[in-house]
Amino acid sequence: MSDQTTTIAQIKDNIRSFVEERDWQQFHSPKNLSMAIAAEAAELMEHFLWDDADQSRKRFSDPQKAIEIRQEIADILIYTFEFADEAGIDLTEAIAQKLEKNAQNYPVNKSRGNCLKYTEL
Ligand SMILES: [Mg+2]
Sign of CA dihedral 47, 52, 57, 63: negative
pLDDT value for 62: 95
Q: Full-prediction pTM beyond 0.85?
A: yes
- Judge if 71 and 121 occupy the same domain: no
Domain around 28: 1-89
**Exposure of 12 by Cβ count < 10 A (0-12 exposed, 13-18 middle, 19+ buried)?**
middle
Cα angle 105-30-3, degrees, rounded to a multiple of 5: 65
Per-residue pLDDT tens for 42-83?
Answer: 999 999 999 999 999 999 999 999 999 999 999 999 999 999
Rounded distance, CA 109 to CA 47, Å?
Answer: 35
pLDDT value for 78: 98
- Judge if 32 and 18 occupy the same domain: yes
Q: How far is the CA of 42 from the centre of ligand 1 (A)?
A: 9
Question: How would residue 1 be classed by pLDDT, with cut points 50, 70 and 90?
Answer: confident
Q: How far is the CA of 6 from the centre of ligand 1 (A)?
A: 23
Percentage with pLDDT > 90 across the chain: 98
- Judge if 85 and 39 occupy the same domain: yes
Q: How far is the CA of 36 from the centre of ligand 1 (A)?
A: 9
Q: How far is the CA of 108 from the centre of ligand 1 (A)?
A: 36
- Judge if 110 and 80 occupy the same domain: no
- Average pLDDT score over the chain: 96
- Judge if 23 and 80 occupy the same domain: yes
